[in-house]
Every structure is written in C-alpha cells, then in structure tokens.
Amino acid sequence: MFPEKIEKSFELNLEAIQLLQNALDSSFLDAYTENVENQIDHFQVRVIDGVPNEETTKKIEALYQQLQEISLEDEEIRKLSQLLLLKGGRTEKLQPNHQLTPDGIGFLFVYLIEQLYPQKGKLAVLDVAAGMGNLLLTVLLNLQLAKYEPKGYGVDIDETLLSVAAATSDWTHADVQLFHQDGLQDLLADPMDVVISDLPVGYYPHDEKASKFLTAVEEEHSFAHHLLMEQAMNYVKENSFGLFLVPSNFLETQQSAALKKLFVEKAYLQAIIQLPDELFKNEASRKSIVILQQKGEHAQQASEVLVAKLATLKEPTKVAEFFKQFEAWKASNL
C-alpha cells in the first residue's frame, strides 16, 4: 500500500524511537517527538547529561545516516508519521479521544472543503481539538497540493499531544500555529475561513464555564463535543463552514435539544454524512461528518438538508457515487 521508501523509513524511524524510548525511559509519544526534533535539527542526536549514552547515540546516528538518503515529500512524511503514531498507539493504549483521525476520513474533509471553497486562494483553517494534528495536517497538506494557500491553527489542552502535533507540523513544513489551552477558553484568533474538528466525545467538567454556551445543559455536565462545536462556529467568518466529526446519534441523545438551539440561533445545519460502518468497531462508536454554515448575508438554510450514508471507502465507484450526490445537492441548495 505504501511505497518502499516509506516502509524503509518507517522501520528506521521506529528503531530510533525505540532506542530513544529505552534510553530516556519515556513514553512512545515523547520519544517520537524527540526523534522528529533530532531530524529537524540536521539529524543531530540530542544528548543531555550523558543520555542517551555513547553506544545508543552511535546506533541512532547510524539509523539517521540511512534516513538522510531517503527523500520524502511533505505529505509522505505525514503518512510516515501517522504509521509511526498508529504503531505507538498499539503499544501504549491511547484513550479513544486521543486516537488519530484515519486518512480516509481526513481525505473526505479535504474533498468537502474543496467543494465548499472552490476559489483557490488563502484559506485559514482552525481545529479546536487538534490532538496529534493528523486531521489538520491532512487537510493543510492536501489543500496545498490542490493549489490552495492554507494556514492552520490548532488548539488542544493536552501538552503531550500538542508536542506531537508541533513536531510533525515542523517535519512536514506545514504552516501551523498551535495554542496550548482549553478549546473553550477565548481564543486569540481572528475569524477563520473554515473550522474543522474530530471532536472529543464526553462530558465537560466545568459547569460554570459551560453555562455561557447555548449548548449547555443544567441538570448534568454538558457534552464537550456540543460546546466545542458551538465554540468553533464562534470563530468562523460569516457565510463560512464548519465540518465536524461527531457521534452518528448526535440528534438522538438526552442533550440534543440543547444542541439544536445552535442550529436555530447561530448556524445552519446543512449536511449530515454518515461514515461507513466498516470504520467502526460497533454501532455505539459510529460517526458522521456534520456540515454547519455560519449565518450571514450570503447564507441560508438549505431547502433540503443533505442526509447521506457512505457505504464504503474501499470501492472507488461507491465513493464516486457519493461525490456526485454531494455535488448535485450543493448545486441545488448552496
């Protein structure tokens, strides 16, 4: 599936990460970050207080010597980073909200953004829960390949995940600014052209902060993914779009009435695209991409909300059928 040079690079990087992990007595993610930073720093192994020791340093330098002979494009580096982080996620169990957004979903986001923003120019993209940055980087690097000029902004409260995102952003030469903060705090960001996110699912513990949002509920902790969706739409320009990965049952939960206030008062719910069952372990974990549009002079509620289900991402003809369906809907409704 991947070119030989990516596989070779994967093996060499994985060995370097494992050597660093043992030497530093660190997590896989911290060793991944260290390895990437070493390579950005002209393949120099960072040694502090004799760690890693001389023997380990020489082993890593030998791996780096081979890696310097492999030339990878930025998007290939992102794919390599994803393979390494997936491997790390298997060796150290990551909680569900820390998992990488799969490429198949990321490429769907890219397609949808290209459809919603046909004018190829500058595009400011915000992810309010960037995590390790794979979704944001997939979007940025592939929009760049499609001749856009994207600039990314990512927010996350988890310092380790954000360190991974920062390292990979530098490694892939992506134009990204990252903020280490709770995504529900005020953001030091101008209004964006498009907001995206694979939203972390769960309850938000700070009720007082949540109470300032339309999507908050009074009788229990509010859903973080509802609050973050609303927060993201606060930072998108008039008439512009938000694309969010959410649980497929988002309109059927006890808190859906609070979420629907957002669709009445602040943004139009324009499309719900249910992702293939094959991507998820069970019914409870199924997700959909939701497209919201900020109100504005050139925006209106679609006469027909698109509700579509993608049967599979494995058969190009089925994916092409969905593309036709989306383009026909867009022509009639947006």
pLDDT one-digit tens code per residue, 117-151? 999 999 999 999 999 999 999 999 999 999 999 99
Please report the pLDDT score of residue 283 as a whole number: 81
Do the beta carbons of residue 26 and residue 74 sit within 8 Å? no
Q: Dihedral sign for Cα 120, 123, 126, 131, please.
A: positive
Query: Is 10 in contact with 32 (CB distance < 8 Å)?
Result: no
Q: What are the angstrom distances between the C-alpha of 12 and each of 89, 90, 301?
A: 18, 18, 52
pLDDT above 90 (res 281): no
d(Cα 241, Cα 109) in Å, to the nearest integer? Answer: 12
Q: What is the DSSP letter of 221?
A: P
For residue 334, give the amino acid letter: L
State the Cα torsion 218-224-228-229 to the nearest 10°. Answer: -80
Provide, rounded to the nearest whole percent, the portion of the chain with pLDDT above 90: 90
Token pair listed for 141: 């690097």
Q: Find the helix or strand (DSSP H, E) in which 309 lies.
A: strand 306-309
Task: Determine how β-strand 267-274 pairs with β-strand 306-309.
Answer: parallel
Cis? peptide before 276, omega within 30° of 0: no
What is the average pLDDT value for the chain, to the nearest integer?
Answer: 94
d(CA 325, CA 279): 21
The domain segmentation of the chain, as residue ranges, is 4-91, 96-333
Residues sharing a CB contact under 8 Å with residue 71, sequence separation 6 or more, in sequence order: 5
List beta partners, residue 125.
152, 194
Count CB-CB contacts under 10 A for residue 110: 20
Q: What is the domain class of 96-333 according to CATH? A: alpha beta
pLDDT band for position 2 (cuts 50, 70, 90):
low
Helix 159-171 to helix 134-145 angle, to the nearest 10 degrees? 20
4-24 vs 54-67: helix crossing angle, rounded to 10: 160
Query: DSSP class of residue 133?
Result: S
Architecture of the domain spanning 4-91:
Orthogonal Bundle (1.10)
Residue 98 has pLDDT above 80, yes or no: no
**64 — pLDDT class (breaks 50, 70, 90):** very high
Would you say the C-alpha torsion 96, 100, 103, 108 has a positive or negative sign? Answer: positive
- Edge-to-edge order in the sheet of strand 287-294: 176-180, 149-156, 122-127, 192-198, 236-247, 287-294, 267-274, 306-309
* 4-91 shares its CATH topology with 96-333: no
pLDDT mean over 208-213: 95
pLDDT at 233: 97
**pLDDT (0 to 100) of residue 95:** 73
Res. 232: pLDDT tops 80: yes
Residue 236's pLDDT band (boundaries 50, 70, 90)? very high
Q: How confident is the model at residue 1 (pLDDT cuts 50, 70, 90)?
A: low
Q: Which of 88-92, 211-215, 310-314 has the lowest mean pLDDT?
A: 88-92
Peptide bond into 52 cis (omega under 30): yes
Q: What are phi and psi of 212, to 5 degrees?
A: -80, -5
pLDDT in tens, 288-311: 999 999 999 999 999 999 999 999
